[in-house]
Structure 1
Amino acid sequence: MMVNITPICSQGFAAVCCGFAALITYLSLRLTYNVFFHPLSSYPGPFAAKLSDAYNGYYAFKRQLHIITRQNHLTYGTIVRQGPNKLVFNSVAALQDIYRNDNTTKPKAYIALGPRLSIPTIFTAQDRQVHRARRQLIGRAISERSMRIFEPTMHDQIDLLIRHIFHSIKRPQSTTINMTERARLLGFDLAGLLAFGYDLNLQTQEKNSFVLPMLEAGFFWSSVFLHWPLTRKFSITLATLKVFRRLRSQYLSLVEHIISSRTKQDKNAQHDLYSIVADELDSSGPDGIRASELWAEATLFLPAAGDTTKTALAAIFFYLSQNVHCYNTLANEIHSKFTSGSQIRGPSLAGCQYLRACIDETLRMSPPVAGILWREAYPSEQPFIVDGHMIPHGTVVGVNIYSIHYNKEYFPDPYTFRPERWLDDAKTVRDAFAPFSVGPRGCAGKAMAYLEISLVVAKIMWYFDFRSVAKSGSHGSESTGVFELLDNFTSSHEGPHLEFQQRGEHCKELDST
């Protein structure tokens, strides 16, 4: 018996056509609304950005979102619609209105940061009370007072870097030092010691070196997920990749080992984060922190504390190697202030004004986080005003740090490395400066960053002279004078590759080490 399947096929084809037509109609209506009738339709910006967050996701994937955002400001002005529900600003007023504001919080997209997504951390918490309590507790580990106690440990680690440079000089064949690589190893060793008194030994051994590519990949995908939240579902596919899954498993196992090793010790055995939060573990008080929350905080504290300073350290050596006047001025300041390397200590560096100016100018031109830190307003009956603009409910706003740091209105001649601009005590310069963000959710680790950078730069310039050696593929651009960054949520980069020489007789004290 023959069955005529033509009607069945026709019905199926018709259903597919109807479904496709319905989809096209929906997308057309949605796009028409976004472009012409959306509350943000009057704000200028790239056409593609008005349609989908895929615009931000595409440039986040290319690690160029900070660059394209600045170009958009130059094209469209101070306020750019850079997403269906996103506005990015480029003004001091917006910086204050968005970030120095207790009524703003991080969007849900920040859940992309970290492997324990169900547990809010100091970096991802939306609730202001949870964030405030967590910051007060964990912030004590990276306060100025804490850094004074931690400084001897910091010296020990920095001295490992100094000896590495010294031994590279003494080799028969001259070698160069990749400052990005060395700064990153130093930063993560310090982070492990500050968090749980655990020495990762990255500067001297390769055992834990898998941490670095794992976290680099984590930063990259977190950036994509943050700027294009729809792709968060892709993380499930990503987690199935054998290489990524293996590295992630190794990293999480290492974190568990670090925490378990520390919790077996007396809480005062080390001055670290654990010694500060130990009394609050499983506390019933409002500031109490559960063991699971400590684990979640640790997975983000290590990369946050370890990765913050690497950009500034690599960049400052790039800028000094490209600017002879700045190099000589800073060298003279350090050489005239000290008579031995052992005198270089945190308190004694406080009077080195040109050193601080060089650091600030480096942080301006090459900020550790160069992109957009998105915020949204808490539900409220009060209007949300940013730089004189009433922001519709549901709108996500932010300032692109790279854009405002290169805004000629605040920083004339922005592509020139000019530390002297910070010696004039110009309020406008300070108001537009946000390498660690500003306000209640700004980076709590400024004291640690400034101390580490100051000590490393001062010690290296005390013992050595250096010059830049061009390497193929380096992201440091001698033609523009800018140390180029890739926007990876934090900043990724390469080099500079430096060749060092002993400075006079100053290295004699290193011969015995």
Structure 2
Amino acid sequence: MAFINLLAVVLVYIGLGLLFYALFLLGYRATLHPLSKYPGPLVARLTDIYSLYYAASKRLHLAIWQNHLDFAQDIYNNERLSKSRAYLVAMQAPGVHSIFDVIDRQLHRKKRKVIGQALTQRAMRDFEPIIIEQTTVFLKKIYDVSRVTPYCPINMTPACRYLGADIVSLLAFGQALNTQTSSENRFLVEGLGAGSFFQNMRIQYPKLARLRLSSLLDLFTNIRNKRAKAKELIEKLITTHIAEGVDAKHDLYSIVAGQIDTKGNGNIRHSEFWTESLFFLPAGGDTTSTCLATLFFYLSRNPVCYKKLSEEIRSTFTSGSEIRDGPQLRSCEYLRACIDEALRIASPVPSVLWREAVLTATEKGDIVVDGHVIPRGTQVGVSLYSLHHNPDYFPDPFTYKPERWFADASETQSSTMREAFNPFSLGSRACAGKAMAYMEISVLIGRTLWYFDFKAAQGAEGQLGAGKEGDKTGRGRTSEFQIYDVFSSMHDGPNLLFSSRKETIGEILEGGCRIVPHEWPSQATR
């Protein structure tokens, strides 16, 4: 009995000690910490659980927008700041980095140089037939649905996501997933989205990994099976390609195989190509699918923009086959403005891209952001969604206005706006696939408007993707396309009705290729 009483007393003292320590720590962070003078929510000053909560609710970008201070240029164009240690939670195998999670600046330069070879102008020309082929499948699919069931709306989110997945699988592995025409491999798209959601919560609250709480996260979010199934398919794609040989197909694997480890000492999942593939697949598809869905949403709700863009496309080209990468397509200035405005208003990566000071022994001086000295080890970052909705840079920021990108605004305002526009990030860590993304989006939108007219569906179906009036979580703007922050963007909608243009549709029907309409789902899964 005495022992039990002694144990109870010890536990009480331990509990009191932990309580006093927690109160001291919270008090220090709220009043004496070097960053305590910065404005912002009190809870965010006290604990990273603030970020975890909003990452779990997929609206971290909205929370940051409401509390935003802009430091983008000082952070992302600063070579003395490197990727945060938080990204290390995304490592797939010990000591094996991808271009996404690598922190060391030298190793990142090496990886970017290797991966960049697949994204050069020459590589883009080589890959363009694949992009056009998959775009044609997309357009024929639209035609079949609109012809057989003309009043059945098409949900553009799954349509664009499947298009992106099919293109990137061919570019990465030389193998078709055929998600546009078959449901067999569509689980990969959902699995990669679940993986992004999972990793984003761990990046925003790294203690989940350090305290080994990730399995609980898997349990409560029910995403473990989705991620595991997606990884199995990716492993199958890699092993199949390795067995075929490096030169069997022209793709990312054939370009980088001689410069990175592709076998991982017999374990594919310990190879560099495995880690790069897990990043390349969602990165290559998410940017384009988000921008495309956003474009379809705003064009269908802005008749003046729709008319101006369709007239530009239809007066610039004489046939759909002419709509391909080159000077003619790049001369479509209003198309580029529409794309840039979509990238601004619905950032493909709305989350915070964390950075921290990682100085070498020979580097001296303070890290300064917006005139403030940042202590070593402090995580700093900006939400691109928040930056792109700052009215100081983008007046009337929640209005889709492609005209803002033309030089009729004051020179100072235009320069500031363009400096703030960073959908692909800034500096040495900026997305290497920017040119490829613009090409894919331009070709797809150009050809869609050449062959079709479209409009928003009627009634409740036509509201899919829009905000809801009265919503108190930041989603109350009914004219805004809603994105969900999972590091990349998730979304649903819009629902559109298409009608083919009789004078042009015959071009795309050459060669047949009938596709069963019902294989495209009418709703996306968030």
Pair in the same fold by TM > 0.5: yes
Letter in 2 for 1:57: L
1:492 pairs with 487, 490, 493, which one?
490
Give per-residue Cα distances to partners, 1:244-276, cap 9 Å, x unaligned.
444333322222221122223343432211121
Instruction: Give yes or no for the alignment of 1:329 onto 2:308.
Output: yes
Distance 1:456 1:114, change over 3 A: farther
Q: Deviation of residue 290 (structure 1)?
A: 11
State the partner residue of 1:508: 506
> How far, CA to CA, are the matches of 2:247 and 2:406 in structure 1?
41
> How far, CA to CA, are the matches of 2:488 and 2:226 in structure 1?
20
Give per-residue Cα distances to partners, 1:277-301, cap 9 Å, x unaligned.
1222459xxxxx9981112111221
SS class of match (1:385): strand
> How far, CA to CA, are the matches of 2:16 and 2:78 in structure 1?
46
Q: Which runs of 5+ in 1 are unaligned?
A: 79-89, 284-288
Instruction: Give yes or no for the alignment of 1:22 onto 2:17.
Output: yes
Distance 1:282 1:323, change over 3 A: closer
Within 5 Å, give how 1:72-221 maps onto structure 2: 72-73=67-68, 78=69, 90=70, 94-113=71-90, 115-116=92-93, 118-172=95-149, 174-221=151-198
Give per-residue Cα distances to partners, 1:153-194, cap 9 Å, x unaligned.
100001000000000011156321111111100111111111
> How far, CA to CA, are the matches of 2:21 and 2:130 in structure 1?
61
2:54 pairs with 50, 59, 70, which one?
59
Instruction: Give yes or no for the alignment of 1:475 onto 2:472.
Output: no
> How far, CA to CA, are the matches of 1:145 and 1:422 in structure 2?
29
Distance 1:281 1:125, change over 3 A: closer
State the partner residue of 1:398: 381
Distance 1:399 1:242, change over 3 A: closer
Letter in 1 for 2:142: I
1:423 pairs with 406, 425, 430, which one?
406
Instruction: Give yes or no for the alignment of 1:453 onto 2:425.
Output: no
Q: Deviation of residue 72 (structure 1)?
A: 1.3
Distance 1:243 1:224, change over 3 A: closer
> How far, CA to CA, are the matches of 2:489 and 2:6 in structure 1?
55
CA contact 1:111–1:117 (8 Å) conserved in 2: no
Question: Could you state the TM-score of these two structures normalised by the residue count of structure 2?
Answer: 0.88
> How far, CA to CA, are the matches of 1:416 and 1:247 in structure 2?
36
SS class of match (1:466): strand
Instruction: Give yes or no for the alignment of 1:353 onto 2:333.
Output: yes
Q: Deviation of residue 221 (structure 1)?
A: 1.3
Q: Deviation of residue 455 (structure 1)?
A: 0.7
> How far, CA to CA, are the matches of 1:244 and 1:492 in structure 2?
15
Q: Which moved more, 1:381-390 or 1:469-478?
A: 469-478
Q: Deviation of residue 53 (structure 1)?
A: 0.3
2:286 pairs with 296, 303, 307, which one?
307
SS class of match (2:227): helix
> How far, CA to CA, are the matches of 1:242 and 1:370 in structure 2?
21
Within 5 Å, give how 1:33-48 maps onto structure 2: 33-48=28-43
Q: Which moved more, 1:204-213 or 1:158-167?
A: 204-213
Q: Deviation of residue 243 (structure 1)?
A: 6.4
Q: Deviation of residue 17 (structure 1)?
A: 1.2
Letter in 1 for 2:28: Y
Question: Could you state the TM-score of these two structures normalised by the residue count of structure 1?
Answer: 0.90
State the aligned residue count. Answer: 485
State the partner residue of 1:413: 396
SS class of match (1:499): strand
State the partner residue of 1:377: 357
> How far, CA to CA, are the matches of 1:264 and 1:291 in structure 2?
17
Letter in 2 for 1:381: K
Give per-residue Cα distances to partners, 1:390-443, cap 9 Å, x unaligned.
111121101111111111111111111111111217221210001111110011
SS class of match (1:397): coil
Distance 1:438 1:172, change over 3 A: closer
CA contact 1:98–1:397 (8 Å) conserved in 2: yes
SS class of match (1:407): coil
State the partner residue of 1:9: 4
2:213 pairs with 234, 241, 247, which one?
234
Give per-residue Cα distances to partners, 1:44-92, cap 9 Å, x unaligned.
111111110001111111111110111113xxxx3xxxxxxxxxxx1xx
Letter in 1 for 2:492: E
> How far, CA to CA, are the matches of 1:349 and 1:448 in structure 2?
14
Q: Deviation of residue 107 (structure 1)?
A: 1.4
CA contact 2:91–2:97 (8 Å) conserved in 1: no
CA contact 1:309–1:453 (8 Å) conserved in 2: yes
Q: Deviation of residue 115 (structure 1)?
A: 3.5
Q: Cα RMSD over matched residues?
A: 2.1
CA contact 2:140–2:509 (8 Å) conserved in 1: no
Letter in 1 for 2:64: T
CA contact 2:136–2:508 (8 Å) conserved in 1: no
State the partner residue of 2:517: none
CA contact 2:96–2:270 (8 Å) conserved in 1: no
Distance 1:491 1:282, change over 3 A: closer
Letter in 2 for 1:383: D
State the partner residue of 2:239: 260
Q: Deviation of residue 213 (structure 1)?
A: 2.0
CA contact 1:166–1:510 (8 Å) conserved in 2: no
> How far, CA to CA, are the matches of 1:24 and 1:310 in structure 2?
48
Letter in 1 for 2:461: K
> How far, CA to CA, are the matches of 2:492 and 2:222 in structure 1?
23
Q: Which runs of 5+ in 2 are unaligned?
A: 263-267, 469-476, 513-526
> How far, CA to CA, are the matches of 2:393 and 2:491 in structure 1?
26
CA contact 2:93–2:270 (8 Å) conserved in 1: no
CA contact 2:162–2:180 (8 Å) conserved in 1: yes
Distance 1:163 1:105, change over 3 A: same
Q: Which moved more, 1:253-262 or 1:459-468?
A: 253-262
> How far, CA to CA, are the matches of 2:377 and 2:222 in structure 1?
38
> How far, CA to CA, are the matches of 2:258 and 2:389 in structure 1?
45
Give per-residue Cα distances to partners, 1:328-362, cap 9 Å, x unaligned.
00000000011111111111311100000000011
CA contact 1:168–1:174 (8 Å) conserved in 2: no
2:248 pairs with 269, 273, 278, which one?
269
CA contact 2:300–2:455 (8 Å) conserved in 1: yes
Letter in 2 for 1:494: D
Give per-residue Cα distances to partners, 1:209-246, cap 9 Å, x unaligned.
11122112111111111111112222234567896444
